Structure 1
Amino acid sequence: MIVFSGLALRATVIGYAYIKRGGLKKRVYASDLVTEGMFGVCRNPLYVGNMLVYAGVFLLHGNPTVVIVGIALFMFIYQCIVYAEEAFLEDKFGDAYRAYCADVPRWMLRFSNFAQATRGMVFNVKRVIAKDYSTVSAALLAVLLIEIYRAAGAANALSLPYISLLGFFMAVVGAATGMVSLLEKRGVFNDPKAIS
């Protein structure tokens, strides 16, 4: 359930206002200060979505060491990324960024801001599919692989049919991913109004 909450959050972020933030020539980069959509609810909603996905996968695995080390490692990695991005954004956008930080939390989701942050925006399903199908696919495959691992460890009469069913679902996810990738390359999801 946590994995799907993370994927739903990512879809909401991308559907309303996708940003291209991250690296350019191995340096933090952002061309615009995006404050609308889910970025008006939380300053790092994609990272929160990612952490929910990872946490869900680690919790599903069930090994306490995997859960603790995995979640702690990804929290540390994302905190380091955010510190670097914040320094860049404050330097580039100055008072506008500081005002944004005062209004919008770094990690918590302030849902009371959602209506105002998305006012006048239209949810773009095509953009969600085009930008996030590989993340959805990877998350589903991770969940299915963990279920196969757990079923193989159970070693009872029901394990083999269940593992076969999970293998079938993996094949379906793989085929769907390939189909969406092909459609995306053919421009089916292109939207001239989308923020790239």
Structure 2
Amino acid sequence: MVQIGNFFFKYRNFLFIFLYLALFIPSAPVFSEADFGSDYYRYPLIIGLAVTVLGQLIRGATIALAYIVRGGKDKKVYANTLVTEGIFAHCRNPLYVGNILMLVGVGILVNSQLYLLVFIPLFLFIYQAIVLAEEHFLRNKFGVEFDAYAKRVHRWLINPLGLGKTIAGMHFSWKRWLMREYNTQVVWLLCIVVILVFKYTHWQWGDATRNTWFIIAVLVLACYYGAIRYLKKSGKWEKV
């Protein structure tokens, strides 16, 4: 599993491109009119948005409180310090938990059995392999320090006990959240926009109206991306 994890760690960014594209493969629905009535689409809409937004909020809180350097080194697992504060004091992999919830949420939103029953389990297997590879590295580098951390903090489940105290006792850097996360946010939001505009035909939009709203949303996201990127690259925001 460690070797599998090292392989997928190297190419994990391509994994997300594949998973977002897989959302639009035709599939039987999870919620259907036959089972849930004419308003069946409200179930994937509400549940899907709630789950996927929760995932982004978990990622945001993790990054804003105690950022961990991502990306490895030379496309290999790497860490120069063992981060155990912030959300990492309640879960060893909160960023990955956020990713999982974001993808499960859009899978529910797009109402795809195929995505939730095939692609999500595949994604979980790959993530488990990546985490085992990372833990193998951390255990070799930090030894008993990592072992002690692993004993008190769960790999996947976020322990809510004391979470409010942790958040209140640390500086919440929303600038770091935006600067480190804007790429992920824009891709994620664009995916949601495409699903809502082109999959939710129950709203009886005309083609012209649908296309207009899509263009407006894309322009807003492009402006957001451009503004954050400019502030980051120009140094207008202080380094965080």
User: Aligned pair 1:175/2:223, yes or no?
Assistant: yes
Change in 2 beyond 3 A, CA 1:156/1:106: closer
Change in 2 beyond 3 A, CA 1:89/1:163: same
Any unmatched runs of 5+ in structure 1? none
Pairing partner for 1:3 from 42, 52, 62: 52
Report percent identity of matched pairs.
Answer: 37
Any unmatched runs of 5+ in structure 2? 1-49
Change in 2 beyond 3 A, CA 1:21/1:183: closer
CA offset at residue 177 of structure 1?
Answer: 1.0
Tell me the TM-score normalised to structure 1 length: 0.89
What's the counterpart of residue 53 of structure 1? 102
Show structure 1 runs of 4+ deviating over 4 A: 115-120
Secondary structure at 2:77 match in 1: strand
Change in 2 beyond 3 A, CA 1:150/1:119: closer
CA offset at residue 175 of structure 1?
Answer: 1.5
CA offset at residue 163 of structure 1?
Answer: 4.1
Pairing partner for 1:15 from 64, 72, 92: 64
Hey, what's the Cα distance between the residues in 1 that align with 2:191 and 2:127?
Answer: 20
Pairing partner for 2:238 from 177, 185, 190: 190
Change in 2 beyond 3 A, CA 1:157/1:121: closer
Equivalent residue runs for 1:49-128 within 5 Å: 49-115=98-164, 117-118=166-167, 120-128=169-177
What's the counterpart of residue 28 of structure 2? none
Secondary structure at 2:69 match in 1: coil
What's the counterpart of residue 140 of structure 1? 189
Secondary structure at 2:72 match in 1: strand
- Alignment coverage as a number of residue pairs: 190
Change in 2 beyond 3 A, CA 1:77/1:98: same
